[in-house]
A and B are shown apart, each in its own frame.
Chain A
Amino acid sequence: MIRDITIGQFYPVDSIIHILDARIKIIATFIYIISLFIMDSFIAYGFVILALALVIKSSKVPLSFMLRGIKSIFIIILFTAFLNVFTTTEGNVIFKAGFITITSKGVYMAVLMCLRLVLLIVGSSLMTLTTTPIQLTDGIEYILRPLKKIGVPSHEIAMMMTIALRFIPILLDETDKIMKAQQARGADFDTGNIIQKAKSLVPILVPLFISAFRRADELAMAMEARCYNGAENRTRMNVMHFQSRDYKALVVVIIYTVLSFVLRYIF
């Protein structure tokens, strides 16, 4: 199940999208998400799908790999569809049985919402699939840097993300070990009612938290020992530079933005 979630995974191939500056990818994804929410016609979505398809094609990430990410949120999509179909009462009634009313507007909304959700997932996972976590956090740090003046701790946010990414696999491993160890002592995580199940988590969560705190403590000391003193005087090994391809990508993003607004007001 955890393996099926494609958001946050990196897909290592050489493509024009992969080598773009992370900042441009973050901004593009942001604009893309906004465009999804301002559009509400199928023609406009046709344009979005076309644009997305072009980007996916040039990213060289197989479509099947991306669609695997949708599988894990299939339930949520289904739920959204049901909610829209059954709660919308406007429009022409096309089916009525007892208290269930299905209207044309409802079906239209359901399809639109599902489409929006799928495009949202595919689009944002495309960003993480083509950008290494390190570039991503660096990009976020750069983008947030102007906000430092109003008190946004851009460096700290980026450092937190880096450490989280570093320790997620370690803690997952640890959870697995602790679960096995408690199972060996006769713990049962599968049977019983909700309260019993919640109680059975205590022998996992307590050691996990203790371990996380111990690790945090040791890591903090190791960072200090390596002269870490926050963002002050800190430089980076890999400095981000906009290259001509990044400016070209920026032009594409601007064209996309303009077209989105045009489509929004025409249809």
Chain B
Amino acid sequence: MDMVKAKGLTYEYKRMVDTDEGTKEEKFLALKNVNIAIEKGEFVAVLGHNGSGKSTFAKHINALVKPTEGTLWIKGFDTKNDEFVWDIRQSAGMVFQNPDNQLVATVVEEDIAFGPENLGLDSKEIHNRVDSALDTVRMQEYRKNSPSKLSGGQKQRIAIAGVLAMKPDCIVLDEPTAMLDPLGRKDVIETVMRLNREEGITIVLITHYMDEAVRADRVFVIDDGDVVMEGVPKEIFCQVDKLKGYGLDVPQVTEVSNMLSKKGIDIAKDVLNVDDMVSEICRIKGIEANLSEIKRDVPLDTDALKKEAEERFDGSENFDGIQIKNLTHIYNPGTTFEKKALDDVNISIKRGEFIGIIGHTGSGKSTLIQHLNAIMTPTNGGIFLDGTDIFADKTKLKSVRQRVGLVFQYPEHQLFEMTIYKDVAFGPTNMKLPEDEIKRRVKSALETVGLSEKYYEKSPFELSGGQKRRVAIAGVLAMEPEVLVLDEPTAGLDPKGRDEILDAVKKMQEKLGITVILVSHSMEDVAKLVSRIVVMHRGRCVMTGTPREVFARVDEIEKMGLAAPQISYVFEKLNNIGISVPKDVYTTDEAADVLYKLLSEKGGEN
């Protein structure tokens, strides 16, 4: 019997639509005649851009939503029949995107017990299940902790344990890693893989991350409520152009192999990971591929790295740009909670530069950028804007905040006005500018982020996630800052939304000539855009340099819990095998060029 079986599954809902004759109710199909069968024990990934209907599909599996037409069977139970609701929810558990909004209790073990308690099990059985669920997700030592003290990845593992304690046959995960950092993502995905391989639990993983989807047994692509592609990952991902058309992404190596194939190289198009790529190149070159794990036993000397990075620091007094001098920040000094978030940071950023700041969670990135516009005050050291200490004159903090614009993580969460125009005008109005100047700035800011005049009078809450975020960025941009700092601007967005934001950021940097500081977990984003990278580790600035310089030091980056772009690893492995290619390639375009030369050479020799 199939674990999940959908036959003609259709879901219709009503939404309000603006027309020329006012707002009208319109019927809208979130799912159109979906036919899917998922076997017991399978690991299935569901892809699709935001609003494609994939979340609606996930909710159907848990009987949180019922089909308008057609039928969905979970383990043979028809989801339309109310009698089976509890059986369905027990056999097909669900994990949601936001780690905070799905944990109920204030103690980890109590939260895991929530499901079994609802099932009416006796106390002893609940204790057993909580115990074994904690073991499975490897969180036993945190059982008495409060969820609010855990990291995002740990919270998601608790959410998974909460579902596991109900002994489900199937777990549906709706973008479980969208809000996590790379380490958290890795933890969660490894847990999910283990559940599938070792416990035989059917997994339905809804995701935007292609590196997660490539590990599935089967992939479904949903677009506008239709299942448009279906197959094993290799079949799906080699269709790069088609996937891009659906607003999706492919792994960097897949993209490169397709570029090469288009140029006439006889390379497999279904390359999905670094090892696939390396062995394909070796096959073409006629070399035996040695794919052993690269050993990284370089010791990490942060003192030396910090010193080295500081050699590039320009501390001159009439510097044109921002200088971060000896910046130290200690949280809760003098208490047991004392924590040094920043430790003598020295960075100089020239006017007009495009800087990327990378570092894992807790490395001090967020604390650092909050000092740049005086939202936080340093324990020691200072920030100098064109040679002047921004903290020297407390009455001028407001003007500093106007000169250094700061866009926080998930900035759409601070939107509050009735219309987009008014929300963007909030900053300029606070600056007490004349009415026509406000108007000019709002218009130009919205134009820069790519929102036309027809949006001005709309409510910001009607927009899509990516659009909302662009409005929020425009709100800071309208203050016309000299420096724009963006904290994780692409977090939680789908590939299309992400590209729109990054394009807008790139455009404003080029057009307005402002300094842009981009904080990101995504090495691929950073590699594509910035001219210089700053690496933070445990409150210290340990590296500064061009992406080329930084990504060539994969060993040290890995030691800090970070990762270089996928392409860097391909070139590292090729080098280790003895193929002479430059070690510092990190973008897909460059990789395609270098590999084209390498692989077509071989043809010449023959």
Do residues A182 and B120 form an inter-chain contact, with CB atoms below 8 A?
no
A58 at the interface (CB under 8 A from B): no
For chain B, residues 258 to 299, give those with C-beta under 8 angstroms from any C-beta of chain A.
Answer: none
Do residues A228 and B118 form an inter-chain contact, with CB atoms below 8 A?
yes
* Minimum CB distance partner of A159 in chain B: B104
A187 at the interface (CB under 8 A from B): yes
Point out the residues of chain A lying under 8 angstroms from B109, CB to CB.
237
Point out the residues of chain A lying under 8 angstroms from B117, CB to CB.
234-237
With known contacts A226-B89, A237-B127, A184–B476 Cβ distance under 8 A: yes
Q: How far is the CA of A177 from the CA of B104 in the complex (A)?
A: 23
Point out the residues of chain A lying under 8 angstroms from B19, CB to CB.
none
A215 at the interface (CB under 8 A from B): yes
Interface membership of chain A positions 170-206, coded 1 if the CB is closer than 8 angstroms to chain B and 0 otherwise: 1000100110111111111000000000000011001
Q: List 20 A-B contacts (CB under 8 A).
A: A166-B105, A174-B413, A177-B413, A181-B411, A183-B375, A186-B426, A186-B430, A207-B415, A207-B416, A210-B461, A219-B101, A222-B102, A223-B114, A225-B89, A226-B166, A227-B115, A228-B114, A236-B117, A238-B123, A239-B123
| Chain B positions near chain A (C-beta within 8 angstroms) | 59, 62, 64, 86, 89-90, 93-94, 96, 98, 100-107, 109-110, 113-123, 126-127, 130, 147-148, 162-163, 166, 370, 373, 375, 398, 401-402, 405-408, 411, 413-416, 426-427, 430-431, 461, 475-476, 479
* Minimum CB distance partner of A230 in chain B: B118
Point out the residues of chain A lying under 8 angstroms from B414, CB to CB.
178, 181-182, 185, 203, 207
A169 at the interface (CB under 8 A from B): yes
A133 at the interface (CB under 8 A from B): yes
Do residues A180 and B148 form an inter-chain contact, with CB atoms below 8 A?
no
With known contacts A184-B476, A186-B430, A234-B120, A218–B96 Cβ distance under 8 A: yes
Do residues A170 and B148 form an inter-chain contact, with CB atoms below 8 A?
yes
The 7 closest A-B pairs by CB, nearest first: A186-B430, A222-B102, A206-B416, A237-B113, A218-B101, A233-B120, A227-B118
* Minimum CB distance partner of B376 in chain A: A180
Do residues B479 and A218 form an inter-chain contact, with CB atoms below 8 A?
no
- Shortest distance in angstroms between B500's beta carbon and chain A's nearest beta carbon? 21
Point out the residues of chain A lying under 8 angstroms from B476, CB to CB.
184-185
Do residues A183 and B106 form an inter-chain contact, with CB atoms below 8 A?
no
Do residues B107 and A134 form an inter-chain contact, with CB atoms below 8 A?
yes
Given A186-B426, A233-B120, A235-B126, 7 further pairs, Cβ under 8 A: A134-B107, A134-B110, A183-B401, A184-B373, A222-B101, A225-B64, A225-B93
Q: How far is the CA of A247 from the CA of B112 in the complex (A)?
A: 31
Q: How far is the CA of A185 from the CA of B475 in the complex (A)?
A: 8
Do residues B413 and A184 form an inter-chain contact, with CB atoms below 8 A?
no
Do residues A211 and B413 form an inter-chain contact, with CB atoms below 8 A?
yes
Point out the residues of chain B lying under 8 angstroms from A163, CB to CB.
104
Do residues B118 and A207 form an inter-chain contact, with CB atoms below 8 A?
no
Point out the residues of chain B lying under 8 angstroms from A223, CB to CB.
104, 114
Do residues B398 and A188 form an inter-chain contact, with CB atoms below 8 A?
yes
- Shortest distance in angstroms between B318's beta carbon and chain A's nearest beta carbon? 27
Do residues B102 and A162 form an inter-chain contact, with CB atoms below 8 A?
no
Q: How far is the CA of A135 from the CA of B59 in the complex (A)?
A: 33
A224 at the interface (CB under 8 A from B): yes
Do residues A226 and B416 form an inter-chain contact, with CB atoms below 8 A?
no
Do residues A181 and B408 form an inter-chain contact, with CB atoms below 8 A?
yes
Q: How far is the CA of A228 from the CA of B94 in the complex (A)?
A: 13
* Pick from A186, A203, A215: contact of B100, CB under 8 Å: A215
Point out the residues of chain A lying under 8 angstroms from B479, CB to CB.
185-186
Point out the residues of chain A lying under 8 angstroms from B93, CB to CB.
225-226
A29 at the interface (CB under 8 A from B): no
Point out the residues of chain B lying under 8 angstroms from A180, CB to CB.
370, 375, 408
Point out the residues of chain A lying under 8 angstroms from B375, CB to CB.
180, 183-184
- Shortest distance in angstroms between A3's beta carbon and chain B's nearest beta carbon? 9
- Shortest distance in angstroms between A75's beta carbon and chain B's nearest beta carbon? 24
Q: How far is the CA of A247 from the CA of B48 in the complex (A)?
A: 61
Do residues A184 and B96 form an inter-chain contact, with CB atoms below 8 A?
no
Point out the residues of chain B lying under 8 angstroms from A203, CB to CB.
414, 416, 426
Point out the residues of chain B lying under 8 angstroms from A178, CB to CB.
413-414
- Shortest distance in angstroms between B470's beta carbon and chain A's nearest beta carbon? 15
Do residues A165 and B127 form an inter-chain contact, with CB atoms below 8 A?
no
Q: How far is the CA of A215 from the CA of B104 in the complex (A)?
A: 11
Point out the residues of chain B lying under 8 angstroms from A238, CB to CB.
110, 123
- Shortest distance in angstroms between B125's beta carbon and chain A's nearest beta carbon? 9
With known contacts A180-B408, A185-B430, A219-B101, A237–B118 Cβ distance under 8 A: no
Point out the residues of chain B lying under 8 angstroms from A227, CB to CB.
86, 89-90, 115, 118-119, 166
Q: How far is the CA of A170 from the CA of B101 in the complex (A)?
A: 10
Do residues B107 and A132 form an inter-chain contact, with CB atoms below 8 A?
yes
Point out the residues of chain A lying under 8 angstroms from B105, CB to CB.
134, 162, 166
- Shortest distance in angstroms between B319's beta carbon and chain A's nearest beta carbon? 24
Do residues A226 and B162 form an inter-chain contact, with CB atoms below 8 A?
yes
- Shortest distance in angstroms between B97's beta carbon and chain A's nearest beta carbon? 8
A243 at the interface (CB under 8 A from B): no
A252 at the interface (CB under 8 A from B): no
A67 at the interface (CB under 8 A from B): no
Q: How far is the CA of A218 from the CA of B130 in the complex (A)?
A: 23
For chain A, residues 117 to 136, give those with C-beta under 8 angstroms from any C-beta of chain B.
Answer: 132-134
Q: How far is the CA of A133 from the CA of B146 in the complex (A)?
A: 11
Do residues B116 and A237 form an inter-chain contact, with CB atoms below 8 A?
yes
Q: How far is the CA of A185 from the CA of B100 in the complex (A)?
A: 27
- Shortest distance in angstroms between B405's beta carbon and chain A's nearest beta carbon? 7
Q: How far is the CA of A263 from the CA of B263 in the complex (A)?
A: 99
Interface centre among A163, A166, A178 (most CB of B within 10 A): A166
Point out the residues of chain A lying under 8 angstroms from B96, CB to CB.
218, 221-222, 225
- Shortest distance in angstroms between B352's beta carbon and chain A's nearest beta carbon? 21
* Pick from B114, B147, B426: contact of A185, CB under 8 Å: B426
Q: How far is the CA of A133 from the CA of B147 in the complex (A)?
A: 14
- Shortest distance in angstroms between A211's beta carbon and chain B's nearest beta carbon? 6
With known contacts A185-B427, A207-B415, A226-B163, A235–B123 Cβ distance under 8 A: yes
* Minimum CB distance partner of B370 in chain A: A180
- Shortest distance in angstroms between A174's beta carbon and chain B's nearest beta carbon? 8
Q: How far is the CA of A196 from the CA of B433 in the complex (A)?
A: 18
Point out the residues of chain A lying under 8 angstroms from B405, CB to CB.
184
Do residues A235 and B122 form an inter-chain contact, with CB atoms below 8 A?
yes
- Shortest distance in angstroms between B504's beta carbon and chain A's nearest beta carbon? 18
Point out the residues of chain B lying under 8 angstroms from A186, CB to CB.
398, 401-402, 426-427, 430-431, 479
* Pick from B94, B100, B110, B427: contact of A237, CB under 8 Å: B110
- Shortest distance in angstroms between A169's beta carbon and chain B's nearest beta carbon? 5
A229 at the interface (CB under 8 A from B): yes
* Minimum CB distance partner of A172 in chain B: B148
- Shortest distance in angstroms between A236's beta carbon and chain B's nearest beta carbon? 6
Point out the residues of chain B lying under 8 angstroms from A218, CB to CB.
96, 98, 101-102
Point out the residues of chain A lying under 8 angstroms from B94, CB to CB.
222, 225
* Minimum CB distance partner of B165 in chain A: A226
Q: How far is the CA of A170 from the CA of B150 in the complex (A)?
A: 12
* Minimum CB distance partner of B89 in chain A: A227
Do residues A225 and B370 form an inter-chain contact, with CB atoms below 8 A?
no
Point out the residues of chain B lying under 8 angstroms from A206, CB to CB.
416
* Minimum CB distance partner of A223 in chain B: B104
* Minimum CB distance partner of B412 in chain A: A207
Q: How far is the CA of A228 from the CA of B147 in the complex (A)?
A: 20
Q: How far is the CA of A180 from the CA of B89 in the complex (A)?
A: 40
- Shortest distance in angstroms between B449's beta carbon and chain A's nearest beta carbon? 15
Q: How far is the CA of A28 from the CA of B500 in the complex (A)?
A: 62
Do residues B104 and A166 form an inter-chain contact, with CB atoms below 8 A?
yes
Point out the residues of chain B lying under 8 angstroms from A182, CB to CB.
414, 426
* Pick from B107, B115, B123, B426: contact of A236, CB under 8 Å: B123
* Pick from A183, A184, A221, A226: contact of B114, CB under 8 Å: A226
* Pick from B64, B106, B430: contact of A162, CB under 8 Å: B106
Q: How far is the CA of A211 from the CA of B427 in the complex (A)?
A: 21
Q: How far is the CA of A229 from the CA of B107 in the complex (A)?
A: 21
Point out the residues of chain A lying under 8 angstroms from B62, CB to CB.
225
Do residues A169 and B148 form an inter-chain contact, with CB atoms below 8 A?
yes
